[in-house]
Structure 1
Amino acid sequence: MSSSPAAGPTGAFAGFPPAALDFYDDLELDNTRTFWEAHKQAYADHVRAPMLALTEALAPEFGPAKVYRPYRDVRFSKDKTPYKEHQGAIVSTAPATGWYVQVAAPGVRVGAGSYRADGPDLARIRAAIDADHSGRELERILRRLTSAGFEVGGERLKTTPRGWSADHPRIDLLRHKSLFVGRHYGFEPFVHTPELLDHVRDDWRQLRPLVEWLTARVGVLG
């Protein structure tokens, strides 16, 4: 693995080194405790440290982030591999809602949205999609973002949600159980440099209207 530094001497964000992506390439092939114990310092230096530096640099504008632990919860999963094959961080503005950034073997991606809505939260989001004013506002937000090169994702029902008509003008949005918008940077050279901070900051700013729309419906964190 490359020994490129994750951060400068003062802890400033310097990009994710190639070794971060190499680490996840190798972990995908050998997701075992033996591999992890042999390479946990590489994870700490090349993955977690730069993610902490990145989120700390973004915090003054967007708020503090939760940098996820690398361990998978396998209690109720058929997949018993012990470690996540990506490192994510979220700045939450409401339950399971906010801005997101991730590094993994395929590179870096950013996004924002509601990643998991429980029953009452999902009902409020769908009610806002149904209402003409707020529903059309969300459509405008998503059109601007897709025109800027973002992609809309999220878990969607294949059928019409209970209580809604299949000919509703926003039925595609009503089918969403989660709704997020993101962009993949992949292996762009800038992900290995301090310039990545500018890209994440600029994209999170563009995503702010979506975050604010969803937060207004889900409710801020207590």
Structure 2
Amino acid sequence: MTNNPKIHTSGFEFLQTLKKNNNREWFNDNKTVYQQELVSVEAFADALLALLNSHDVIETPSGKQSLLRIYRDTRFSKDKTPYKTHWSGGFRRAAKYRRGGYYFQLEPGNTFVGGGFWAPVADDVKRIREDIAFDPTPLRKILSAKPFVSTFKTLQGEQLKKTPRGFDADHEAADLLRYKQYLLIRNFSDEEVLSDNFLKEADKTFRAMRPFLDYMSDVLSTDPNGLDV
């Protein structure tokens, strides 16, 4: 199973069956199957990390350690089902000059590869907004580039309903200033995920994020004069 670092049909079949039997008794009875499929996903994550490290520097040491637990935290959720019905993992970029991260989620009918800034701290959001307000041209150039549009279509993430306090409501970049998250997301069909080409396409998606991540890294790690902060 691990000789071919791809997502196998059996892995999706396990998730579909888990979705219909999302309880501890069923999961414990089928834990051997889960562990077998997990090995396959770990192999995929290892292969994806190797490709990612060929064009970026990643702090996450292994594909296995990139994977998020399948067990849900139900303490503060109305949904008390104990297990996630997807495989997922994330890779952290290394050093303070490489900001942002990479993420993948594998789920029948809902697979996507993404990245960016999921929960930026308030100081980071402030710095990003100030840079956009000063000159939105560099970011607009990245977001309108053909490779970006063909891969992600548009920048995604939660937004304020109004222009944030301290910025002119009529600012030319008011649409960008409202963002609270900065996410790049590419969706994949089940057919694409289960194909032999998915690993390559996932890495290609990560590569397409670099102009955006590099722009954000520059904003968050240097001052307006280009000096380290």
Query: What 5-or-longer segments of structure 1 have no aligned partner?
Result: none
Name which of 199, 202, 217 aligns with 1:200: 202
Structure 2 contact 100–213 (Cα < 8 Å) conserved: yes
TM-score under structure 2 normalisation?
0.79
Between structures 1 and 2, the one with greater strand share: 1
Please state how far the C-alpha of 1:180 moved relative to its aligned partner.
0.8
**Aligned equivalent of 1:141:** 142
**Runs of at least 4 residues off by over 6 Å:** none
Please state how far the C-alpha of 1:96 moved relative to its aligned partner.
8.7
| Paired residues for 1:32-71 under 5 Å | 32-46=23-37, 48-59=38-49, 60-61=53-54, 62=56, 63=58, 64=60, 66-71=66-71
2:16 alignment partner AA? D
RMSD, aligned α-carbons:
2.3
Q: How has the CA–CA distance of structure 1 residues 201 and 149 changed in structure 2, closer, same or farther, with 3 Å as cutoff? A: closer
Query: What 5-or-longer segments of structure 2 have no aligned partner?
Result: 222-229
Q: How has the CA–CA distance of structure 1 residues 129 and 103 changed in structure 2, closer, same or farther, with 3 Å as cutoff? A: same
* Cα separation, 2, equivalents of 1:51 and 1:212: 29
TM-score under structure 1 normalisation?
0.81
| Paired residues for 1:1-222 under 5 Å | 5=1, 7-8=2-3, 12-13=4-5, 15-46=6-37, 48-59=38-49, 60-61=53-54, 62=56, 63=58, 64=60, 66-93=66-93, 97-132=100-135, 135-144=136-145, 145-151=147-153, 152-188=155-191, 190-218=192-220
Please state how far the C-alpha of 1:203 moved relative to its aligned partner.
1.6
Matched residue count:
206
* Cα separation, 2, equivalents of 1:176 and 1:23: 37
2:143 alignment partner AA? L
Q: How has the CA–CA distance of structure 1 residues 168 and 69 changed in structure 2, closer, same or farther, with 3 Å as cutoff? A: same
* Cα separation, 2, equivalents of 1:165 and 1:50: 51
1:14-68 per-residue CA deviation (whole Å, 9 max, x = no partner) reads x11112222222233332212321233333322x323322232233324235211
Q: How has the CA–CA distance of structure 1 residues 67 and 216 changed in structure 2, closer, same or farther, with 3 Å as cutoff? A: farther
Q: How has the CA–CA distance of structure 1 residues 28 and 128 changed in structure 2, closer, same or farther, with 3 Å as cutoff? A: farther
Q: Secondary structure of 1:36's partner?
A: helix
Please state how far the C-alpha of 1:146 moved relative to its aligned partner.
4.5
Q: How has the CA–CA distance of structure 1 residues 147 and 34 changed in structure 2, closer, same or farther, with 3 Å as cutoff? A: same
Please state how far the C-alpha of 1:131 moved relative to its aligned partner.
2.2
1:55 alignment partner AA? A
Instruction: Report the identity percentage.
Output: 31
